[in-house]
A and B are shown apart, each in its own frame.
Chain A
C-alpha cells in the first residue's frame, strides 16, 4: 500500500517538470521553460549527491567541486571553440568543441577523476571530519578558479552561443529542456538500478552498519569510493548542463553555497529517496521564483522551511507524503 503511494508520487514528480514545460510552451512563456530546465538540472545534481548522501550516508559538503568541474569543462572546451584557439598543441593537439555529447563525456570523466582523488583521501575519515575535508576540497577549487586568470578568474567565462547537439536546435527552450530532462530520466533509471543491484545492497548496508559489511568480507571503503565517484560524475554532468543553460561559468559554481544548495534539494525532497532531489529542486525553484519576487531575502523563508523539514519531517517532502520507506522487495 505504502509502496504504491510512493510509486504514484514518483510518477507525479516525474511528470511535473515536462508537464510544466509543455504548458509554458503552449502559453508561450519561455522563462517558465527555463525555470523547469533549471529545476531538471539542479535535480540531476541532487540525484548525484543523493547516491553518496542518501544511499551511502556520506555527508559530502563539497559536491560544488564536481558541479564546478563539470561547468568549467564545458566553459573551457566551448571558449576555445569560440576563439578557434586550441587548448594545447604539444605533445598532441586538443581543440575546443561546441558538441554537447563530447562536453558531457569530458565533464563526466573529469569530475569522476576528481571524485576519485578527493574520495580516496576524504573517505579515510568519517563523520564531521569527512564533512570538513570535502568542504575544504570544494573551497580549494573555488579559490583556484578565482585566481586562475586564463579562464576569467573571478569574473567567470561567458559562452555566447549554446552548444550544439546533433540534429537539434538547442537554442529553442523546449528542446534544451527535453535534452536535460532526458538525461535526468536516464540517470534516475540508472540510479534505481544501482540501488537494487548487489552494489546498492552493499552500499546501503555500509551506511547502516559498516562493521556488518566488513564481517561478511566486503570492504566498505571500496564500496564508498566507487559510490563517491559515480556521485561526483553525475553532479559534474549537471554542472556542464547548468553552464550551458546560463551560457556562463563562474567560480560561484565551486562555492560552498552551491554545495549547501545541492544538499538542500536532497534534504527538502527526502534523503535516500530516488525522486527526493527532483521534488527538492522543483520546490526550491518554485520558492525562489515566488518568494524571490516578494523579497530579496527569500532565503530566510527557505531557512525556516528547511528547519521545519529537519525538525518535523525527516523523510522530506516524499517521506511526509508517503510515510516510512519500505525496504525494496
Chain B
C-alpha cells in the first residue's frame, strides 16, 4: 500500500473530564475517500478542528504527505496543503463569487503583500479562480454577491475556494448539509471525480452519499473510533449497528 497522504496518530483532546477525542488514529491514502461518521456529539467536529489546526491536541500527531504538521497553526497547515470546507459555509459574504475564489487563488499564490496593481488585473489568479468556479458549476454566477447566493450555491463556492488552493488533501465537513436530494446527488458525483486529484477525508451525515462514495468508513462514537472498514463491512458490523446505524434507523 502507498504511503498515506494524511496520517493521524493517537490524537487526544479532553475538555475537563470529557474525552472529546480519545486515542484516534486514521489515515487517508492517495485517490481515496475516507468517510468519518458518527452520531451527534461523537466528537467529529472536534477531530476535524484538531486536524485543521484550529484546536490544539493534547497529544498525538498529524502528518501530511509525510511531514509532521502537529505543531503548525491552521494557517500554516492550509499552506502545507490542507484544503478545508466547513459544515456551515464560511465565506466573505460582501464579496462576489469571483472575489471569494480569487482569495483562495491568492492564498495559493502567496503574494498577498502587494499594494499597487489591482488584483483583478492578475490574469493568472483570475484564470485559476475561474477554473475552480467552472468545476463546481458556478462560473455563470461569478459576478454575483455571495450574500445573494442560495445555500446550495454557497456550499459549491466553499468547495471551489478549497479547489483553488490545489491542496494535497481535502478535509470536508458535511458538504451535503442542506443541499436537498438533487443537490446532494450532484455534489456526490463531483466529489467522486475529485478524489483523483486529492484524497478526501469526508465527515458526512448523508448515508446514501457516504455509502456511494467512501472507499473506507470510520465510525466515531464518544471520541473513539469503534470500527474502520469498507461500506459493506461497516453495514454488517454489529457494534456499529448498535451504536449508530440502528439508532439512526430507530429515529
Q: Is A215 an interface residue (CB 8 A)?
A: yes
Contact, CB under 8 Å: A216 / B107: yes
Contact, CB under 8 Å: B107 / A197: no
Q: 8 Å CB contacts to A: which residues of B78-118?
A: 78-79, 84, 86, 90-96, 99-100, 102-104, 106-108, 110-118
Q: Is A257 an interface residue (CB 8 A)?
A: no
Q: Is A306 an interface residue (CB 8 A)?
A: no
* A216-B108 contact given A209-B90, A327-B145, CB 8 Å threshold: yes
Q: Is B161 an interface residue (CB 8 A)?
A: yes
Name the contact of A327 in the complex, choosing from B74, B96, B110, B119 (C-beta under 8 A): B96
| B12–chain A nearest beta-carbon distance, Å | 24
Q: Is B196 an interface residue (CB 8 A)?
A: no
* A216-B103 contact given A196-B120, A328-B120, CB 8 Å threshold: yes
* A208-B95 contact given A197-B114, A197-B118, A215-B90, CB 8 Å threshold: yes
- Which residues of B are found within 8 Å of A327, using beta-carbon distances? 94-96, 99, 145
| A190–chain B nearest beta-carbon distance, Å | 8
- Which residues of A are found within 8 Å of B116, using beta-carbon distances? 193-194, 197
Contact, CB under 8 Å: B90 / A208: no
| B109–chain A nearest beta-carbon distance, Å | 8
- Which residues of A are found within 8 Å of B55, using beta-carbon distances? none
Q: Is A199 an interface residue (CB 8 A)?
A: yes
Q: 8 Å CB contacts to B: which residues of A188-225?
A: 193-194, 196-202, 204-205, 208-209, 211-219, 223
Q: 8 Å CB contacts to A: which residues of B43-93?
A: 52, 54, 73-76, 78-79, 84, 86, 90-93
Contact, CB under 8 Å: A223 / B112: yes
Q: Is B133 an interface residue (CB 8 A)?
A: no
CA distance A197 to B111 in the complex (A): 11
Contact, CB under 8 Å: B90 / A212: yes
* Closest residue on chain A to residue B122 by CB atoms: A198
| A315–chain B nearest beta-carbon distance, Å | 13
Q: Is A89 an interface residue (CB 8 A)?
A: no
Contact, CB under 8 Å: B93 / A217: no
CA distance A208 to B96 in the complex (A): 12
* Closest residue on chain B to residue A200 by CB atoms: B119
| B53–chain A nearest beta-carbon distance, Å | 9
- Tell me if A's interface is mostly helix, strand, loop or mixed: helix
Q: 8 Å CB contacts to B: which residues of A236-277?
A: none
Contact, CB under 8 Å: A209 / B78: no
| A1–chain B nearest beta-carbon distance, Å | 15
| A55–chain B nearest beta-carbon distance, Å | 12
Contact, CB under 8 Å: A217 / B145: no
CA distance A215 to B90 in the complex (A): 9
CA distance A61 to B29 in the complex (A): 51
Q: Is B165 an interface residue (CB 8 A)?
A: yes
Contact, CB under 8 Å: A217 / B92: no
Chain A 53-80 near chain B by CB (<8 Å), digits 1 or 0: 0000000000000000000000000000
Name the contact of B102 in the complex, choosing from A201, A211, A219 (C-beta under 8 A): A201
Contact, CB under 8 Å: B119 / A209: no
- Which residues of A are found within 8 Å of B110, using beta-carbon distances? 217
- Which residues of B are found within 8 Å of A214, using beta-carbon distances? 54, 74-75, 78
- Which residues of A are found within 8 Å of B93, using beta-carbon distances? 208-209
Known: A198-B113, A217-B108. 15 other contacts (CB 8 A): A197-B118, A197-B119, A198-B112, A198-B114, A211-B86, A213-B107, A215-B90, A216-B106, A216-B161, A217-B76, A217-B79, A217-B165, A218-B75, A219-B75, A327-B145
Residue ranges of B at the interface with A (Cβ–Cβ < 8 Å): 52, 54, 73-76, 78-79, 84, 86, 90-96, 99-100, 102-104, 106-108, 110-120, 122, 125, 145, 161, 164-165
Residue ranges of A at the interface with B (Cβ–Cβ < 8 Å): 193-194, 196-202, 204-205, 208-209, 211-219, 223, 226, 325, 327-329
11 A–B pairs (Cβ distance < 8 Å), ordered by A? A208-B94, A209-B90, A209-B93, A212-B91, A215-B78, A216-B78, A216-B108, A218-B112, A219-B73, A219-B75, A223-B112
